[in-house]
Chain A
Amino acid sequence: MIAVYACSGLAVLLLILLFFVGDGRETDEDKLLYAEHDLRSEVLSPPEIVHRIFSRQDRRFIRDFDSPRLRRIYSKERKQIARDWIRQTSRGIRKIMRDHLRSARASQNLELSGEISLLGHYVQLRCLCGLLALSSLLVSPGVLQEVALYACNLSHRMKSAHHRLEATFQIPSPESTAGVSR
């Protein structure tokens, strides 16, 4: 019985760790770089690009050249982009969640199942980002292609779910709120 509790505790600890590892905390430089971009356009990269970042085909192409220097450059470049993509995705889903919470707080009709599903997507994505961030330190991005694509598709699903739920929110107008308070 103790072993079961210990394993469960360990699993929960691991999930919490993964949740915070892929946190993608922003440096001041990041904030400057992304602030304007985030306001204007999509914060989540399309799956086609994620497929390329974590491409196995590219890895094989480079491996066929008998050049350690080329392999080193490739590995360094791709790991950097993979890490930046994980941080961008993590930042993107946190922004979606923040926006969603802001709208949900003001709304009078919440669709509970939809909200739980959105939260599920969010927790899953945070853990996946943590897993990807840790794994990218150990293995080549090409090995992580499936997980990265899954995370990418899930992040887009989360974004769509947020927009769908937000469209159904009934947010009281300032006049009606003022009337109630009077």
Chain B
Amino acid sequence: MKDAFKPGLLRSAYDDLLNRTLAKIPSEFGRLIYLASTRDYNSGSYHHEGLSTRFTSEDASAALWAAHREIFWRLASLSLEEVVRELDAYIQSSHEQCDEILHAWLELEPYRVAIPMDVDPIMAQLLLSNIKIGLEVLRIRQKKNSASPSGAWPLPSPAR
């Protein structure tokens, strides 16, 4: 029988999630989207088959919730330049065409569903806005890239 909800077990579930699952995802946006995908759209609760077999479903759900908020907080605190770098890393790791992802993200704004529930609305607004601006930056770079003969993307401008 599984133990009742305990902070110690929650910590273990959280570490397990970080080490076994999230560590394999190469970008912060990838982790955010993955964690959002473990959330039920109707109830808002989190489910993870693997974690639930090793821990209680309550611990698994709480660990997913905590990790989701943690990554959201990290992304919302990033500078715009870092957001662009993270978005770029996510797109590069997705194995999809860059222009297709940019088009879909700018058009459909699917990243809106990746925000955890009950967070500071200003923080959520800031992250969504930074993603929107970041996508525009990447679009401009892609345009320049397709216009220039060398295939390399220009590096972000150095921080002063």
Contacts and interface: CB of A to CB of B under 8 A. Distances in A.
A60 B160 contact: yes
A53 B122 contact: yes
B33 interface: no
Interface stretch (B35-43, B59-67, B107-115, B126-134): B126-134
A31 B57 CA distance: 35
Nearest to A42: B120
Contacts of B94: none
Interface of B is mostly: helix
A57 B77 contact: no
A152 to B, nearest CB: 11
B122 A45 contact: yes
A61 B80 contact: yes
Interface stretch (A80-88, A160-168, A169-177): A80-88
A45 B123 contact: yes
B133 A48 contact: no
B126 A81 contact: yes
A26 interface: no
Interface stretch (A1-9, A13-21, A32-40, A113-121): A32-40
Contacts of B157: 61, 64-65
Interface in B66-89: 76-81
B151 interface: no
A70 B133 contact: yes
B15 interface: no
B4 interface: no
Interface string B119-160: 011110110010011001100100000000000000011011
B122 A65 contact: no
B118 interface: yes
Given A62-B133, A73-B133, A49 B80 contact: no
Given A74-B133, A81-B126, A40 B80 contact: no
28 contacts: A37-B121, A40-B118, A41-B118, A42-B120, A45-B123, A48-B77, A49-B122, A53-B122, A53-B126, A55-B79, A57-B80, A57-B81, A57-B159, A58-B79, A60-B159, A61-B159, A62-B133, A62-B137, A65-B137, A65-B157, A69-B136, A70-B133, A70-B140, A77-B129, A77-B132, A81-B122, A81-B126, A85-B122
